[in-house]
Amino acid sequence: MTDNSNPVKLVVPRRHGDPRGWFTEVYSEPTFAALGVDCRFVQDNHSLSQPRFTLRGLHFQVPPRGQDKLVRCIRGRIFDVAVDVRRGSPTYGSWVGAELSAENGHQLFIPIGFAHGFVTLDEACEVTYKCSDTYAPEQDGGIRWDDPAIAIDWPIPARVTPELSAKDVVQPLFSEFDSPFVYDGRPLQPFV
């Protein structure tokens, strides 16, 4: 299903199909615990992004209200990204990304200590995600989606400016970010 040693996990649930369609189990506590995911999810979020190339991110909540997230796209396609923001990590500032779509059913688990963002690749994309803590506006944080120090290879055509929230337009640069997150001994690894 995924690499257990990687803190960020690309999860590919099995789909069981027949002439009616398919069935998949998107979350099971024992299955995820076997993958090294031992958080408890307490909030589900659902977003709709109408325009293609809507970009949401890069977001996180700081301790003591950090959030693990399990993200999936249930309509359309997105490119989902996690950036290592754990102070002392040998992969600090590195990122991984994957296409999540309603068609492929893939999910991304993003633990506390990683900034999260995504860009929609289709119109009218719907994204759902589980969080291990409720939203705490006073603990909300972010960094610039287009920071050259991070250099995320967003799949956005040249000369296209993504749709951004007012908050995401003014997020600080990575160099201005004083990380409260601590490295846990597991470096970020690329997906195989």
Which residues are tagged catalytic? Answer: 59, 129
Taking residue 3's Cβ as centre, other Cβ atoms within 10 Å add up to 15
* Type of residue found at 169: V
Separation between Cα atoms, residue 102 and residue 107, nearest integer Å? 10
Read off the tokens for 129: 């995600």
Look at strands 95-101 and 77-84 and give their pairing: antiparallel
Note the residue count of the chain.
Answer: 192
Which 3 state secondary structure label does DSSP give 138? helix
